[in-house]
Structure 1
């Protein structure tokens, strides 16, 4: 029997990507009541294009739920440098989830968790029962790779991806996927607002984990390191442990769902176009391009 092919989509990543692709040109594609829809329309087009390319049998969209997560409790500076979403984007978060439901895509998100944690827990839940493709622009998700899971990183436009399999990851990094969080703990992540160990960059961070396997392994072998590395790690040892907690994606969330809940409905382009344009009120001249 052929296994299901589940596509798990990082909804936040695609929504923000789509919004920022058009907002600088003031292309907000407003509804008749003035509500902007540019992020939502790009998001829907992106998922539909990925669906056509990757041909999943099942699909789910994963979302952050709220601006604060458990990582903010661990470290006040987590994502503190990110600006608040622009006003034109605010109504599009709920709109994107509503349109996902209309099309038949299952939405998932847990309060206090990020989309990454929901994706990680769904991968862990179904990795033995399905082939899984994760669609996102976030390289942190590489730590979820396994023999049945591919991470398709967005690359250009709506149809170009940079896919990672377990084999490719091993060739490039020479570590296990779960060790990627240990690498991030040393190098930090400026976009997420945590520094890691100051003075240790991506190359050295990877070399340390390749040789010593984990953050704890490096600490246990600290006398074997260079004097400079020892000084840097000793100065930031507390932040190193915090950074590891921030970098590691949760895979143990309890998510009540069955694979069949994610099965894609059968739509033809005309019927879907009518649903979105007529029932939801998106601007027809832009919505028609979503479903070609």
Structure 2
């Protein structure tokens, strides 16, 4: 365990972990269930991912952030935002609340806000707690790289169990030749197929990356349109409104109203509570490998 002497908070992207856990196990064709037939594969997989990260990074505090539904301020700005997402699989639906209950049993706050996404909750808490402690963000979502700072590292879960890439400002610059703020400019230009907003039609990742690296930002690009090739300039001018909107949609809010006191996030397990919860879910092995008995 990497345990620092000072306080560190781990902000968990609950949605990313839950979907990853569900699909990783559903892909094998076997869905873990209780004797009563209730699916628990996402809960079990979530705990494996989550506890591995806790052991590896040794946070003193933890909060877990969630989406509340498909209606957010982004869907008001752009009705097709995430409009390409299919409904959650039937076996996953009952596990949403079960995972939140597991977090409750661990004494870990579940944080969400109507009209906002888990990303915005994480951005807000990173901004708030980063003033007094180091922040780690656990996710699989590369959009979160815009939150990287001197106090905030983003841990991207890679393929395979216990496999991570930890992004600091230096690591981000080394791997992608980008600053955290430029992640938003990149998304504004190239759009995001998984979130279903287009950016500038005809501009892909390669061109977007080159433009941002050469001109620093979208504002820098727009100030130097005369230096661009005719075809790139024409594409940007034709899609200027969508460029600005896509950049807005890509920006994680760091200023939303959230009730979450730092002391409520301190990791202090109540062994009896944890054991009881996992016995109820018929996965006593989890509290055993957590070392909680």
TM-score normalised to the size of structure 2? Answer: 0.92
Q: 2:201 aligns with which of 198, 201, 205?
A: 198
- Please tell me whether residue 102 in structure 1 is matched to residue 68 in structure 2: no
User: RMSD value over aligned CA atoms?
Assistant: 1.9
After TM superposition, list the pairs within 5 Å mapping 1:220-259 onto structure 2. 220-259=223-262
Which residue of structure 2 lines up, in the alignment, with residue 219 of structure 1? 222
- Please tell me whether residue 284 in structure 1 is matched to residue 283 in structure 2: yes
After TM superposition, list the pairs within 5 Å mapping 1:149-164 onto structure 2. 149-164=152-167
- Please tell me whether residue 54 in structure 1 is matched to residue 57 in structure 2: yes
Which residue of structure 1 lines up, in the alignment, with residue 43 of structure 2? 40
Cα distance in 2 for partners of 1:92, 1:6 equals 25
Q: 1:131 aligns with which of 128, 131, 134?
A: 134
Aligned length: 288
Q: 2:174 aligns with which of 146, 164, 171?
A: 171
Going from structure 1 to structure 2, the CA distance change for 1:130 and 1:43 (only over 3 Å counts) comes to same
Which residue of structure 1 lines up, in the alignment, with residue 9 of structure 2? 6
Which residue of structure 1 lines up, in the alignment, with residue 22 of structure 2? 19
The DSSP-based 3-state class of the residue aligned with 2:27 is helix
Which residue of structure 1 lines up, in the alignment, with residue 151 of structure 2? 148
Deviation of 1:157 after TM superposition, in Å, equals 3.1
Deviation of 1:284 after TM superposition, in Å, equals 3.3
- Asked if the contact 1:65–1:110 (Cα under 8 Å) also holds between the matched residues in 2, the reply is yes
- Asked if the contact 1:110–1:118 (Cα under 8 Å) also holds between the matched residues in 2, the reply is yes
Cα distance in 2 for partners of 1:188, 1:97 equals 32
Cα distance in 2 for partners of 1:81, 1:286 equals 38
Which residue of structure 1 lines up, in the alignment, with residue 73 of structure 2? 70
Deviations 1:9-54 (A, max 9, x none): 1000000000001123342222233221111111122111110111
Deviation of 1:236 after TM superposition, in Å, equals 1.5
Deviation of 1:183 after TM superposition, in Å, equals 0.7
Which residue of structure 2 lines up, in the alignment, with residue 114 of structure 1? 117
Deviation of 1:138 after TM superposition, in Å, equals 0.3
TM-score normalised to the size of structure 1? Answer: 0.92
Deviations 1:168-208 (A, max 9, x none): 11223333212210111101111111111122121221222
